Each structure stands twice: as structure tokens, then as C-alpha cells.
Amino acid sequence: MHQSDSIDRIWNWRITIYCVVVLVVIAVIAVGIGPVPINFLKVFKTLLDLPGGATGQDRTVILQLRLPRILLGALVGAALATSGAVYQTVFHNPLADPYLLGAASGAGLGATIALTSTHQNVYGLLPLFSFTGGVLAVLTSFFVSGKFFAEPNSLLLSGIAVGSFATAVQTYLQQRHSDQLRPVYSWILGDLTSASWSVVAWSALYIVIALMILFLVAKQLDGLMLSDEEAYSLGVNPNRLRVIAVAAATLATATAVSASGLIGFVGIVVPHLVRGLTRRVTNRSLVSIAFVGAAFLVLADLGARTLLSPAELPIGVITAFVGAPFFLLVLRNRRKGMSL
């Protein structure tokens, strides 16, 4: 076969391998950086349990403080970036983000209820409250839009309405409990300080399940970029695929939000970055988007905990600081007809 008489492979899996390498390198560097600097080689040896690794206090810092936080950051980043890419495909909208259907406002309301509650023991249930709030908000959006997926735009609009309603209730609660403003506020801007091995474990469970489902249907998602008739003629059941995709993306998003608060822009910046760099839009890049999302958030968290050290910046401030100008760039390019 003569190479020039054929088209190139649509997706080059080498790109995915590069993305994994980038994530691992950033993660190892991030473990080493902090108030107590630790040699990278030592970090590497500790992580792989090789002789010559860190001992004593350094070992505790690596394994009990920094590693769970970095893993949580990676999980949340992967969840938000992948969900963002999936939402953009499902809603034919390059500026769609994982919070589109009210997941963010619902989770925000749930968290605020937990934080402003007078019962101390509810405070510990914050992740559960925000998770439930996020999922309930998305379910309400589905219910209100009525037609399920016959009309993606009506789902989008009901998502906006449900989101506004939840935000209104949340603001009311905040005003009534102004003494709790600060924790609510810092939760809204997102932070990974709650990271512990138990948080990593339960969020990994849900996020990995959700991402596996999305990776399994990733290639078919390209069909959802067409009209329903075209998708059907190519062998996809568009309604069923949309429900699976949105359900899995919502599970990932709600888990990420309940573990780390509202971290914005990851779901928009990362998919566009990967597509822009690889010049491929196809959902075959979903796995790579997940890894780059993970790397992006680990990097952002590194900034959050070191830039103003010993104080912490909310991670949402960093992602928004990078994300907002990027968002405008995408918008501008899109107007010029360059898409992405």
C-alpha cells in the first residue's frame, strides 16, 4: 500500500501517551514543591517504595499531605475536563461547561445548607449534601424540560432556570447566616485542602466509573455532533447515547464538586487546548483530555498553595485567571469562523 493513497489515521495514540507522561512529570514535581522542599529523586523513590526514599517527617508530608491532594486534584481535573468535552459535544456548543445543567448551583445550594446548618454534625456531611444538590438540580432540569432529549436546547434553558433558582435560595441562606459567609465563600471558589485518603478513595470510585463509561462511548459521541437522523443512519441511538453521556458526565461533575467545591473553566479550557494542539475534534481524544485536565488542575493547585505561601489562594481564582482570557480567545476565534 502506498502511503499517499490513503488518509492518515484519525487519532494518533502517541498523543495520549505524551499526555500521560506530562501528567506524571507534573505530579512528581508538584509533590516535591511546598513549604518543605523535597528532592525530586527522593519523591520518586518514595512513591515507588524504592530504597533511598524519604523517611520521617518528609515521608509523612509526601504520603499523607501532598500525594492525596495531588491525586484528588488529578481526579477532579480529569472529571471536569472530560465532562466539559462531553457536554460540548452533546449540546453542539463549544462554550458549554460541566455546570451547564445546574450541577454547580445545585451543589452550591447543598453545600450552603450543610455549612449554615445549626447542627454541627451536618457539617461533616457537606460532600453528601453538595453531591445530592448537584444531582437533584440536573434531574430537575430534565424533568422541567419534559421532552428529555428531543430538544437539547429546551434542556439547556431549563438548566439555566433551575440554576438561577438554586442560586437564589443559596443567596437567601447566606444572608440569613452571615456568620458562615467565609466558609461558603471559600467553598464556592474551590479548594483541595480537604484532601485525605478517604476523600480520594470515594471520589476515585465514582469518577473512575463515570470516566470509564464515557471512554467506552467516546468514539460514538462523534455521531452526536451530527443531526439525529445522520447519527441513526450510522448506527447510533442518539437519545440513548445522550442520556448515558449526560448521566455519566453529571456523576463525574457532582463528585468533583462535592470533593473540591466549584472550580471553574477547567471544563472549557482543557478540551479546547487539546483539540487546538492536536487539530482533532473527534471524541477519540477524550482520554487525552482527561489526562491533560488532571495535569492542568495539579498545576493550578501547585500555584494555589505556593504563590502566596504560607497562605492559600483559592484554586478557582487561578483557573479563572487563566481560563477567562482563554474563554474570550475561543469566542473571538469562533466569530472569525475558525471554530475552536
Partner 1 sequence: MTLLVTDLNVRYGEKEVLHDINLEIEHGLWTCLVGPNGAGKTTFLKVLLGMAPYAGSIQDRGKEIYRNHSRNVAFVPQQPQIPLGMSVAEYVALGRAKIDGWGNESANSREYIYQVLQQTKLLGMQHSLVSQLSGGEMQRALIARALVQEPELILLDEPTSALDLHHQISVLNNLELLKKKGVTIVSTMHDITLAAMYADRIIVMQQGSILLSGSADQVIHSPELKSAFDNRIDVHTLDSGRPVIVASKASRSWLDEK
Which residues are at the interface with partner 1 (CB under 8 A)? Answer: 1, 5-11, 92, 94, 218-220, 222-223, 225-230, 232-236, 275, 279-282, 284, 334, 337-340
| Neighbouring C-alpha atoms within 13 Å toward the C-beta of 105 | 22
Closest CA to 266 of 257, 335, 339: 257
Q: How far is the CB of 276 from partner 1 (least distance, A)?
A: 9
The residue among 53 and 271 lying less far from partner 1, judged by its C-beta, is 271
CA 264 to each of CA 60, 80, 189, 315, 317: distance values in angstroms, whole numbers, following the listed order: 31, 9, 8, 9, 9
Q: How far is the CB of 188 from partner 1 (least distance, A)?
A: 31
Q: How far is the CB of 235 from partner 1 (least distance, A)?
A: 5
d(CA 165, CA 143): 15
Closest CA to 320 of 277, 273, 265: 265
The residue among 154 and 186 lying less far from partner 1, judged by its C-beta, is 154
The residue among 221 and 263 lying less far from partner 1, judged by its C-beta, is 221
Q: How far is the CB of 83 from partner 1 (least distance, A)?
A: 18
d(CA 178, CA 181): 5
d(CA 103, CA 258): 10
| Residue 24, all three cell numbers | 506524571
The residue among 19 and 85 lying less far from partner 1, judged by its C-beta, is 85
Q: How far is the CB of 275 from partner 1 (least distance, A)?
A: 6
The residue among 270 and 320 lying less far from partner 1, judged by its C-beta, is 270
